DNA sequence: CGTGAAAAGATTGTATGCAATCTAGTCGGG
DNA sequence: CCCGACTAGATTGCATACAATCTTTTCACG
């Protein structure tokens, strides 16, 4: 398979080749097609996309910055494998940032934006109703895009980029530590958030967004039972 | 001049060469030794640090991610030249994030951390009292490090990295749009923040941090009078 | 003399080659 | 039989070479 087989289907791909590869890899990681810890060999990725290692290295460096890839010197790049502690930090960051973003979005939202929110929620509902891994990936993307649209409407490009990183890494965390999918639950909360946004009720909106994040985190199993910690406990340290 | 002339003087330089060059360039940009808009030629930087363009490109890509460098395809990299709007977004982001970080830091601070804060404030005072561009650069660094220490004590690596970016970009913004240096004013507020932190008064701390950011932004001249907008207005568009 | 096209020079984007490092498999000793 | 050292293969880090693009200078034409 080469990149050309899917070039037409891609979303907002950058025009530069490194950015395009980064976008494709990110989609695969966030969509859980690439499991955490998977080795991303430069030669292999390069062969897949028909580019040299130079371009692949640039793409991997970008993903490393976003925290989706862990790069180890002389060893290569791997899909990130966030620890429970990192997971907590990711959600603590979202808990701090997103209610504020929502307040700002509430002040700036207009009819066009509300339509885009509604379209995303409809897409999300449609994918939840569908079966198959393709639908799961699309559902994850729609759910994340809901939060990103909030940041976009808020009109702050920096916070939007922070949110892109946090939402992407959240998907990895949920893949690793998610107890249930809880997608229908999250979806219902998205509807409530849109209601508050449409009503212009900034306080209710901020509260709902905060609770939404709490609920997602509450569905995680972040007990210190990862491989390394478990071993450590097993040895009685 | 080569990198070796200063290698011993560096701070926490990464062991990899691209990271080292990134750190050196960042220090120069944040310390206002490199003016916004300055071209960063790959060959020139490479010659200066005695590495190939490959390594320089990696360093510049990192700085582009941090928003300190603007990279234009086929044209090269330039020290970032944030617009007034970007400046507002930077400070809006800090206004949202930093009070929350301060609250978290308040809950986790210990005696050792308080000593580090005190040392930074003393360093800042010392550099303010000194003359010369070297002292100005050190003063800027100490002031920024105060905010970064707050994020470090808060114990969230993700927010700490966000703050690193925001503090660095703030320095660029102040260099471009700062009315007065107002360094003594900021320094006094740092003392007040440390007081609240030592007292464990999270509410007062969060309020002081928020006001501190407001004061820094208030000292900026962000009227839409940049080059391009002025030209646009002059042409009556 | 001013304007625009065209060519020369400079700079970036990408591919490739070599050295250094890591990994895996093999062999010998205990 | 298990463990460690050693060697062969694979992979990454970096430098360099070439192609594509941009910039500047030159020069012809109006």
Segment-wise mean pLDDT, segments of 10 residues, chain B, 237 residues:
34 66 96 96 97 97 97 96 97 98 97 96 94 89 96 98 97 91 82 97 98 95 65 47
| CA of residue A95 relative to chain centroid, distance | 15
A92 touches chain B (CB under 8 A): yes
**pLDDT given for residue B8 in this prediction:** 30
**Banded model confidence at residue A117, pLDDT cuts 50, 70, 90:** very high
Cβ contact, residue pair B96, A100, below 8 Å: yes
> Quick check: B101 contacting A, CB < 8 Å?
yes
Closest partner residue to A89 (CB to CB) among B65, B100, B156 is: B156
pLDDT at A10: 29
Q: Which residues of B touch A101 (CB under 8 A)?
A: 96
pLDDT band at A65 (very low <50, low <70, confident <90, very high): very high
Strand C within 7 A of A37 CB: no
A interface test, pick of B162, B164, B169 with most A CB neighbours within 10 Å = B162
Sequence-separated (6 or more) residues with CB below 8 Å from residue B128: B135, B139, B183, B184, B187
Question: From A163, which residue of chain B is nearest by alpha-carbon distance?
Answer: B162
Rounded CA separation A95/B26 (Å): 30
Give B140 to chain A, closest Cα distance, Å: 22
Rounded to the nearest angstrom, the minimum Cα separation between B87 and chain A is 10
Do A47 and A37 touch, CB atoms closer than 8 A? Answer: no
Indicate the pairing of strand A39-40 with strand B69-72. unpaired
Report all structural domains of chain A as residue ranges with CATH numbers, in order of start: 3-79 (1.10.10.10), 84-218 (1.20.120.530)
**Residue B183: what pLDDT?**
73
| pLDDT (0 to 100) of residue B10 | 29
The CA–C1' separation of A236 and C29, in angstroms, is 35
| Interval A150-199: pLDDT, tens | 999 999 999 999 999 999 999 999 999 998 767 777 899 999 999 999 99
**What pLDDT was estimated at residue A37?**
96
Per the listing, tokens 């030209």 go with: B231
* Residue B124 exposed, middle or buried by CB count within 10 Å (0-12, 13-18, 19+): buried
Residue A200 has pLDDT above 70, yes or no: yes
Residues of chain B found within 8 Å of residue A170, distances taken between Cβ atoms: none
More confident residue, A1 or A138: A138
Q: Quick check: B202 contacting A, CB < 8 Å? A: no
d(CA B69, C1' C7) / Å: 33
Q: Which of residues 2-61 of B touch strand C (CB under 7 A)?
A: 39-43, 53-54, 57
Lowest pLDDT segment from A10-14, A25-29, B93-97, B144-148: A10-14
Chain A positions touching B92 (Cβ under 8 A) are 104, 156, 159
A70-79, long-range: CB < 8 A, 24+ apart? A73/B16, A76/A39, A76/A40, A76/A41, A76/A42, A77/A39, A77/A40, A77/A42, A78/A37, A78/A38, A78/A39, A78/A40, A79/A29, A79/A34, A79/A35, A79/A36, A79/A37, A79/A38, A79/A40, A79/A172
What is the Cα–Cα distance from A127 to A141, expressed in whole angstroms? 10
pLDDT at A8 over 60: no
Residue A73 contacts B where some CB pair is shorter than 8 Å: yes
Tell me the sheet residues that pair with A69: A79
A167 vs B68: CA distance, rounded Å? 24
What is the ipTM metric for this complex?
A: 0.89
Cβ contact A190 with chain C strand, < 7 A: no
How far is Cα A36 from Cα B151, in angstroms, rounded to an integer? 28
Report CA A82 to chain centroid distance, whole Å.
13
Residue B96 touches chain A, beta carbons under 8 Å = yes
Q: At residue A11, does pLDDT exceed 50?
A: no
Q: Which residue of A has its CA nearest to B103?
A: A96
Q: Are strands A39-40 and B39-40 parallel, antiparallel or unpaired?
A: unpaired
- pLDDT for residue B225: 59
| Mean pLDDT of chain A, nearest integer | 89
CA–C1' gap, A39 and D5, in angstroms: 28
| pLDDT given for residue A180 in this prediction | 75
**Chain B window 63-102, residues with Cβ within 7 A of nucleic strand D:** 74-75
Are the CB atoms for A176 and A221 separated by under 8 Å?
A: no
Would an 8 Å CB–CB cutoff place A83 in contact with chain B? no
């Amino acid at each position: 398979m080469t990149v050309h087989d899917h070039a037409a289907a891609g979303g907002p791909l950058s025009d530069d080749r490194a950015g395009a590869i980064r976008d494709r890899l990110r989609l695969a990681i966030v969509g859980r097609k690439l499991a955490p810890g998977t080795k991303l060999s430069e030669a292999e990725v390069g062969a897949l996309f028909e580019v040299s290692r130079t371009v692949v290295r640039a793409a991997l460096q970008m993903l490393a910055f976003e925290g989706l890839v862990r790069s180890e010197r002389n060893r290569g790049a791997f899909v990130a494998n966030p620890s429970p502690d990192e997971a907590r930090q990711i959600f603590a960051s979202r808990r701090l940032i997103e209610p504020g973003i929502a307040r700002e979005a509430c002040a700036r939202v207009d009819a066009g934006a509300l339509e885009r929110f509604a379209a995303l929620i409809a897409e999300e509902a449609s994918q939840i109703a569908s079966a198959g891994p393709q639908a799961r990936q699309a559902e994850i993307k729609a759910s994340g895009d809901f939060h990103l649209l909030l940041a976009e409407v808020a009109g702050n490009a920096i916070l939007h980029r922070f949110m892109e990183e946090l939402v992407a890494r959240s998907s990895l965390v949920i893949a690793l530590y998610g107890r249930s999918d809880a997608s229908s639950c999250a979806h219902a909360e998205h509807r409530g958030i849109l209601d508050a946004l449409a009503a212009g009720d900034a306080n209710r909106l901020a509260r709902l967004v905060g609770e939404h994040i709490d609920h997602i985190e509450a569905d995680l199993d972040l007990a210190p039972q990862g491989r390394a910690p478990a071993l450590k406990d097993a040895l009685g340290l």
